Amino acid sequence: MEDPRGKYLMETYSRLPITMRKGSGSWLWDTEGKKYLDYTTGIAVNNLGHCHPSITDAITSQAATLVHTSNLFNIENQGALSEMLVSNSFADRVFFCNSGTEAVEGSIKLARKWGAQNGGRFAVISTEGAFHGRTFGALSATESEKYREGFSPFLEGFHFAPYADPDAIARLAAETNPCAVILEPVQGENGVIVPPPGYLRQVREICGKSDMLLILDEIQVGMGRTGKLFAHEHEDIRPDIMALAKALGGGVPCGAVLATEDVAKHFTPGAHGSTFGGNPLAAGAACAAIETILQENLSERAGELGDYFLDRLEDVRKKYPEHISEVRGKGLIVGIEFSDRDFAQDCFSVSVKNGLLVILTVERVFRILPPLNTNEEEIDFAVAVITKSIEEVVSSG
């Protein structure tokens, strides 16, 4: 149902006419009592599903104790969270912020600080089709006109290489004297584009040879989604900087910039900051989210469930080869590419009617982001709804 108070909001979103009232696990209920399988997870945020007891307990107990103090003081939960992130990643140090775009912004600023002291370099190589966020630094690293139109001029020094083309990065590096490369291990917003194995390793080598930092944007694919806690672990490489957000805070806004000591030391007092960054509430929820992902082996489980889901979807593709051009993914970030935009749009609307929520991206790709603790039965339900929805659209002519 439309909410008439929508007229008070700026029209930045084209929302579905549905208002959600409550959630539990993989399921959402709207204000009319209709139940949906939520395979959007709040755009890769609710990796533990809705209202996981560990997150609910962490939020409620922290809210009753101390919500916010600012970084004028030490924050116990922030200390615990930074220790957890460092001991489970390549990084030595962490900076906390509140969102993905801020984590990218902080990553670019850190790389430029490093570059200023390493040859006076400021250029950054990004990739075509990337989505890094909506603030000016992140938008300067995002090439698509769809996000940029009407906002120029952007920051100087951003160059774009085709995605999954390491040679193009090497060529741009020789031409532009950059301080860093920034990329997503899987391009989510661009339709779940999974690069061939070896891509990240090759880019890592190029960064080493050309003395550039490698910034990985794991905002969408980090926190266990691809089958490892961080997606770059599939290639056994170490970035210099990593941006995290979305699932990090278990639903409470929380972002982070992680870096090696060598790079992090360039952020000195006053160089960067955030009023809310890593506050007691957000950091407490994030600690609970990571602890649960690790204790319940949810990264590994995401890998297994992703394989199961892709196998089942491949059967659907074989049944409708004229309508589905490809199914792809890594762990529990899954894409179904339809051959035709109108068909994809109709299937999307019918799937919602039939009780399945996914994200329609680049107009003809279902981007499916289940919680990591979903199960085979729920995946079977999703596959059944997708099949039924395709059949309905086909038979409606």
Ligand X SMILES: Cc1ncc(COP(=O)(O)O)c(C=O)c1O
Among 106, 115, 133, 306, binds ligand X (CB under 6 A): 133
Name residues whose C-beta falls within 8 Å of residue 188's C-beta, 6 or more positions apart in sequence.
Answer: 44, 131, 220, 221, 333, 361, 367
DSSP string, 201-250: HHHHHHHHHTT-EEEEE-TTTTTTTTSSSSGGGGGT---SEEEE-GGGGT
Q: How far is the CB of 177 from ligand X (least distance, A)?
A: 25
Active site residue 315: no
Count interface residues toward ligand X (CB under 6 A). 15
Choice between 38 and 217, CB closer to ligand X: 217
Q: Taking the mean position of all CA atoms in its chain, how far away is CA 242?
A: 12
Active-site residue, from 158, 228, 230, 246: 246
Residue 161: strand pairing partners: 127
Among 105, 143, 189, 233, binds ligand X (CB under 6 A): 189
Active site residue 262: no
Place of tokens 């912020």: 97
Among 38, 184, 233, 240, binds ligand X (CB under 6 A): 184
Active-site residue, from 95, 96, 217, 366: 217
Active site residue 246: yes
Q: How far is the CB of 366 from ligand X (least distance, A)?
A: 16
CA neighbor of 320 nearest in space, from 303, 345, 340, 294: 340
Choice between 103 and 385, CB closer to ligand X: 103
- Which residue is closest to ligand X by CB? 100
Q: Interface with ligand X by CB under 6 A: which range of 15-23, 28-36, 181-189, 318-326?
A: 181-189
* Structural tokens at position 51: 């209202």
d(CA 108, CA 212): 12
Among 28, 94, 104, 164, binds ligand X (CB under 6 A): 104
* Footprint of ligand X on 228-287 (CB under 6 A): 245
Among 40, 99, 140, 374, binds ligand X (CB under 6 A): 99
Choice between 43 and 51, CB closer to ligand X: 43
Sign of the torsion formed by the C-alpha atoms of 161, 165, 166 and 172? negative
* Phi, psi angles (nearest 5°) of residue 376: -60, -35
Beta-carbon-side half-sphere exposure of residue 158 (alpha carbons within 13 Å) = 21
Contact 127, 162 (CB under 8 A): yes
CA neighbor of 254 nearest in space, from 85, 17, 49: 85
Place of tokens 């080598």: 205
Among 62, 82, 101, 299, binds ligand X (CB under 6 A): 101
Choice between 188 and 227, CB closer to ligand X: 188
Q: Binding string, 288-307, against ligand X, x = CB under 6 A?
A: --------------------
- 226 belongs to the binding site for ligand X (CB under 6 A): no
Active site positions, annotated: 131, 217, 246
- Residues within the interface to ligand X (CB under 6 A): 43, 99-101, 104, 131-133, 184, 188-189, 217, 219-220, 245
